[in-house]
Structure 1
């Protein structure tokens, strides 16, 4: 699907962004987390032609490095190629000002890991017990932890 565009996120977008976040994740960011992201980084929303927010991306930036903190497509729009197109557009926006991009992704999130690999990200390591997660053991679901896979990509050479 290419019938959407990427624009800067604003504070007025937060109710829609939070609704998507809560629908997509078992352990969503808080409103304060998104407010901090707006204060500290580069943040984008993905809007369809009806001006409905269907996803977002949040980056923390330091000098010539960008860290992808959150990339999310509404569950209602997943499986349509939006994440692939959105990531392509975001990388194009970042390549002139940043040399490297970093991210962490849940070890269990195979679709995201495959997407990042297709875009040239390499797996650099593991951050043990990084994410909160629901763990099922002996038929009982309890809160546990999941490893993060560290990934990076060089956007441009010096």
Structure 2
């Protein structure tokens, strides 16, 4: 069984064949086939923060992303032709993968970017984790529908998990069995 880092490398390595086929036979690949997930860097933080602030009324501070780098969480950006379309943060350990944050630029939502990011995260976690977890706001029906289409099941509710305009909002907990 390949190690976690080998899995990440196999998913993140630039695929010159895809690029070639996209140019020569553009109809042979979809846009999402050409999306690239790569490790997030400090230089990406301004674009990541723009997306974070655009999507959330209570966004993470930049310091939280820096802390994620420092503790070694999986931090990635999804890009197309050098433009960051979305990002994700995942931690793995003790047979579990936990998606802490995933977000897609508002003008890219509903176009398969979030689905592609999730598919890659599932591939990274397979073989290394038995279950993948995430939380989502009940007020985010698009994300809920995506997670359900990908096979995630609702397993519970975390009361008062998210800050909200009027107090706190619950989180729906989802899990996906990977084995």
TM-score (norm 1): 0.87
Distance 1:99 1:125 in 2: 18
State the secondary structure of the residue aligned to 1:76: helix
Distance 1:146 1:86 in 2: 25
Distance 1:51 1:131 in 2: 32
Q: Deviations over 1:85-112 (max 9, x none)?
A: 2211221122132221111100111111
TM-score (norm 2): 0.78
Distance 2:56 2:123 in 1: 27
- 1:71 deviates by 0.7
Q: Which residue number in structure 2 is paired with residue 52 of structure 1?
A: 83
Say whether 1:86 aligns with 2:117.
yes
Distance 2:49 2:157 in 1: 28
CA RMSD for the aligned pairs? 1.2
Say whether 1:42 aligns with 2:74.
yes
- How many residues align structurally? 147
Distance 2:68 2:175 in 1: 20
Which residues in structure 2 correspond to 1:9-158 (within 5 Å)? 9-40=40-71, 41-48=73-80, 50-134=81-165, 143-156=166-179
Q: Pick the structure with more helix per residue.
A: 2
Structure 2 stretches of 5 or more lacking a match? Answer: 1-30
